[in-house]
Amino acid sequence: MGLAGVCFHAQQGAEKSIKAWLIAHDADPEKTHKLEELLSLCVQIEPRFSEVVADSVALTEYAIERRYDVDFWPSFDQARTALEQARRICDFVKKHWS
């Protein structure tokens, strides 16, 4: 899986933290891997979630499309960026957990 796996799991970490936040706020997260769709639900509850939408767009690609694309070989920099984006989202979720 290599660096593609790093990108995939970065997306999954962000997705799971967003879904956990939604559940904790009595919202039903959609069955989707599209982070921007999940964040739109968060924004309805807490508008500040719009601050991390930009990070979510690139990560969403790693959920399905890139995971099964045998020709996708991300660079070390792409994997590092994916981890940084996921960390920003997870940190934001943690900060706004109340």
Which pTM value belongs to this model?
Answer: 0.90
Number of domains in the chain: 1
Name the residue range of residue 78's domain.
2-95
Which of the 8 DSSP states describes residue 67? T
Query: Which pLDDT score is estimated for 67?
Result: 62
Q: Whose CA is closest to 38, among 84, 25, 69?
A: 25
The whole-number pLDDT of residue 61 equals: 87
Per-residue pLDDT at 2 exceeds 80: yes
Contact, 58 vs 81, CB < 8 A? yes
